[in-house]
């Protein structure tokens, strides 16, 4: 790969595993796969990845910032899409995508979108379905196991890893701002890639919150454990035959 045309040094792509896919491949993603490793994981072409990020940035920069929506249902994309939206002036939607967000003007979650960016086509399919109905263009980060139906612009990349997602959205944000002439050089983009990375501490905290919610919903189960089950011998719980 010509280093002068790289958005970043190749080593940074490699370090984050941005080119590493899954053990599965779809017909849609076959053309983006460079090889299959001995452990079964598919490897995507870094040159194509680099080119698609640059192309996507040019494409995204054509749309009004306030009409760009980026979504991620998966936790590992949460920080990345929030920072990306904050950087370019778009809107981020994380977690569950409320049905009608694009299609129901009367809904409180309604957004008049002109461009949709999704982190994982399968997880974010509700937003894709609504964008298709309104003929909203869609940019998607796609791994080797994804289907790309209804996707207008594919970025072949590891969309499962924290570091890979952080790098992808950090690069997109920087390149979009350059395309808009809001910054003139890479150095003017002051945000660090680490700011886009979802922290594992957040995962633990959110898991604890979910457990607390579950306990509050079913308070009668607190502290019950295995109480009352006792030891049972063979045939326990069965009626004796007479």
Q: Has residue 22 been placed in a domain?
A: yes
pLDDT tens track for 51-100: 999 999 999 999 999 999 999 999 999 999 999 999 999 999 999 999 99
Q: Has residue 231 been placed in a domain?
A: no
Q: How many domains does the chain have?
A: 1
Q: Residues 116-126: what's their mean pLDDT?
A: 97
Q: Has residue 220 been placed in a domain?
A: no
Q: What is the pLDDT of residue 224?
A: 47
pLDDT band at 230 (very low <50, low <70, confident <90, very high): very low
Q: What is the pLDDT of residue 227?
A: 44
pLDDT tens track for 5-48: 889 999 999 999 999 999 999 999 999 998 999 999 999 999 99
CA 232 to chain centre: 48
Domain that holds residue 19: 10-183+197-203
Q: What is the pLDDT of residue 113?
A: 97
Q: What Å distances lie between residue 28 and 34, 44, 147, 149, CA to CA? A: 14, 13, 6, 8
Q: Has residue 4 been placed in a domain?
A: no
Q: Has residue 191 been placed in a domain?
A: no
Task: Provide the CATH number for the domain around residue 73.
Answer: 3.40.50.10490
Q: Has residue 50 been placed in a domain?
A: yes
Alpha carbons within 13 angstroms on the beta-carbon side of residue 25 total: 18
CB 139 within 8 A of CB 118: yes
Q: Has residue 232 been placed in a domain?
A: no
pLDDT band at 218 (very low <50, low <70, confident <90, very high): low
216 vs 88: which has the higher pLDDT: 88
Residue 101's contacts (CB-CB under 8 Å, 6 or more residues apart) are: 93, 107, 109, 110, 111, 127, 130
Q: Provide the token pair at 161.
A: 């890893």
CB 149 within 8 A of CB 28: yes
Q: Considering only CA atoms, which of 161, 158, 162, 189 is closest in space to residue 176?
A: 189
Q: Provide the token pair at 181.
A: 């002439």
Quick check: 223 pLDDT over 70?
A: no
Residue 210's contacts (CB-CB under 8 Å, 6 or more residues apart) are: none
């Amino acid at each position: 790969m010509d280093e002068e045309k790289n958005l970043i040094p190749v080593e940074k792509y490699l370090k984050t595993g941005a080119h590493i896919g899954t053990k599965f491949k779809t017909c849609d993603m076959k053309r983006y796969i460079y090889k299959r490793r001995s452990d079964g994981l598919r490897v995507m072409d870094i040159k194509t990845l680099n080119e698609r990020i640059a192309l996507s940035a040019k494409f995204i920069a054509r749309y009004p910032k306030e009409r760009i929506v980026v979504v991620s249902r998966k936790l590992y994309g949460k920080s990345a899409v929030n920072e990306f939206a904050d950087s370019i002036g778009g809107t981020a939607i994380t977690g569950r995508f409320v049905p009608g967000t694009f299609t129901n003007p009367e809904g409180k979650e309604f957004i008049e979108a002109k461009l949709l960016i999704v982190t994982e086509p399968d997880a974010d399919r509700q937003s894709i379905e609504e964008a298709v109905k309104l003929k909203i263009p869609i940019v998607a980060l796609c791994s080797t196991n994804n289907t790309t139906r209804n996707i207008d612009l594919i970025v072949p990349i590891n969309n499962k890893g924290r570091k890979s997602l952080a790098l992808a959205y950090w690069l997109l944000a920087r390149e979009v701002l350059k395309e808009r002439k809001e910054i003139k050089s890479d150095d003017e983009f002051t945000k660090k890639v680490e700011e886009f990375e979802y922290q594992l501490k957040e995962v633990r905290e959110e898991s604890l919150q979910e457990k607390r919610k579950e306990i509050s919903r079913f308070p009668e189960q607190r502290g019950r454990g295995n109480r009352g089950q006792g030891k049972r011998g063979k045939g326990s719980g069965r009626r004796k035959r007479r």
